[in-house]
Amino acid sequence: MATPVGEPKVLDFEAPILEMERRIRELESLASSQQMALGPEIRRLKERAAKLSADIFAGLSAWQRTQVARHPQRPQAIDYVRALGTDIIELHGDRGFRDDRALAVGLARLDGQRVLFIANRKGRDTRERLAANFGMPHPEGYRKALLKMRLAAKFRLPVVVFIDTPGAYPGIGAEERGQAQAIAENLREMSVLGVPILILVTGEGFSGGALAVGVGDRVALLENAVFSVISPEGCAAILWKDSSKAAQAAEVLKLTAGDLLKLAVIDDVIPEPPGGAHRDPRASFDHVRAYLLRTLGSLTSLPTDRLLAERYARYRRMGAYLEEQQGALRPSPSPAV
């Protein structure tokens, strides 16, 4: 994984945890240099620090989880590909305009299993971020992904997508080159692609920019990832004409992994190490590896017709509405599939 640039960022609710860890390091240093028997006290402090971290992260608000999802030291989507994959070959270009650095697409092996990967790239320093357009793909990025997904279907390769994007780039050039059309075509084609598609949101996944590569047989979020039709800032700007109300918007959007699992928008939540993935990237990689191998194994065993039928049914089951029957509002049954 790329080394984050600059001093580690500390979110306000993380400060008590880091202060206790600082005291533990001081005691460990003192015990080592002065040959003092401080083992029991150090163990007690470590237990208290672990409990404090668990309590704080269990009670995070939707806006605080959004901040964790955007943490600059958090592993990015492309970092999971580099950490989990072998024999990685990135494929470039959309055969029409250029190669979009905001979206990496290529071939890799996951514990011997050949897959096509798609992963957002945000960049770590200023040069990388500018090259990757801060993780916001242009239409050529989505067209590149679609071309390679069709290649995966031809060679019967599962598709694994790692999402971490604030959304599709909304600039004039992107709109002129068919941003909306590129997103729509991906939605249509991914819905009928004849190989397993596994979606994993590792950080933030907002708007059509995330959904353009987010249609699949299983959709999972890391514990502190967020996934929504719009960012909290964008929602606040539309609803209240005030982006400073982003925290309020985050609560309304129901964008956390826990909320989305209850609503059956996603299928699984992957646990993160104590304090979030940015505190222990290696442990986070291990959790994701275990989930991917387990889930890919179940999906690749399905015949194509059943795979597509279940994918269709998954999206048809989403949502609920009320309809008036003899003057009373009653829940409508799930549509037949």
pLDDT digits (tens, 9 = 90+) for 40-67: 888 888 888 888 888 899 899 999 999 9
Q: Which of 24, 19, 31 lies closest to 45 in space, CA to CA? A: 24
User: 74: buried, middle or exposed (CB in 10 Å: 19+, 13-18, 0-12)?
Assistant: buried
Tell me, yes or no, whether 4 lies in a domain.
no
Q: What is the pLDDT of residues 229-246, one digit of tens each?
A: 999 999 999 999 998 999
The reply to whether 241 falls in a domain is yes
Residue 1 lies in a domain: no
How close are the terminal C-alpha atoms of the chain, in Å? 43
Mean pLDDT of all residues in 268-273: 96
Asked if residue 321 belongs to a domain, the reply is no
Higher pLDDT, 250 or 51: 250
Whether residue 120 is found in the same domain as residue 264: yes
Which pLDDT band, with edges at 50, 70 and 90, does 329 fall under? low
- Report percent pLDDT > 70 for the chain: 92
Residue 5's pLDDT is what? 45
- Say how many C-beta atoms besides its own lie within 10 A of residue 176's C-beta: 9
Location of structure tokens 């939707």: 62
Alpha carbon distance 233, 246 (integer Å): 5
- Say yes or no: 21 and 161 in one domain: no
For the chain, what is the domain count?
Answer: 2
Average pLDDT over residues 209-227: 97
Residue 5 lies in a domain: no
Cα dist from 204 to 31, 60, 235, whole Å: 42, 16, 15
Q: In this predicted structure, which of 13-22, 82-91, 159-168, 258-267 has the lowest mean pLDDT?
A: 13-22
Considering the domain architecture, whether residues 260 and 276 belong to the same structural domain is answered as: yes
User: Could you tell me if 222 and 257 are in contact, meaning their C-beta atoms sit under 8 angstroms apart?
Assistant: yes
pLDDT of residue 327: 64
Confidence of residue 332 (pLDDT cuts 50, 70, 90): low
Residue 303's domain comprises 66-316
pLDDT tens by residue, 106-119: 999 999 999 999 99
**E strand or H helix at 309, and its extent?**
helix 304-316
Residue predicted with more confidence, 255 or 323: 255
Q: Is residue 231 part of a domain?
A: yes
Q: What's the rounded mean pLDDT across residues 178-203?
A: 97
Q: What is the pLDDT of residues 14-38, one digit of tens each?
A: 888 888 888 888 888 777 777 676 7
- Taking the C-alpha atoms of residue 274 and residue 271, their distance in angstroms, rounded to an integer, is 9
Mean of pLDDT values over 275-296? 96
**Same-domain check for residues 192 and 257:** yes
Indicate if the pLDDT at residue 7 is higher than 80. Answer: no
Pick the last residue of a domain from 59, 75, 90.
59
Mapped onto helix, strand or coil, the DSSP state of residue 197 is strand
Q: Are residues 218 and 110 in the same domain?
A: yes
DSSP 212: T
Regarding predicted confidence, which is higher, 35 or 225?
Answer: 225
Quick check: 251 pLDDT over 50?
yes
CA distance 15 to 20: 9
Residue 288 pairs in a beta bridge with none
Regarding whether 51 and 183 lie in a shared domain, the answer is: no
Query: Alpha-carbon distance 313 to 317, whole Å?
Result: 6
pLDDT of residue 45: 85
The answer to whether residue 2 scores a pLDDT higher than 90 is no
Average pLDDT of the chain?
A: 91
Question: In terms of domains, do 23 and 171 share one?
Answer: no
- For residue 238, the SS3 value is helix
Tokens of 165: 């994007």
Q: Give the pTM.
A: 0.89
Do both 47 and 90 map to the same domain?
A: no
Query: Residue 164: which CATH number?
Result: 3.90.226.10
The reply to whether 184 and 81 lie within a common domain is yes
Q: Do residue 27 and residue 169 come from a single domain?
A: no
d(CA 295, CA 289): 10
Residue of 51, 59, 29, 33 whose CA lies nearest to 42 = 29
Same domain, 120 and 24: no
Residue 212 belongs to some domain of the structure: yes
Residue 328 domain-assigned (yes or no)? no
95 and 17 share a domain? no
The pLDDT value recorded for residue 334 is 60
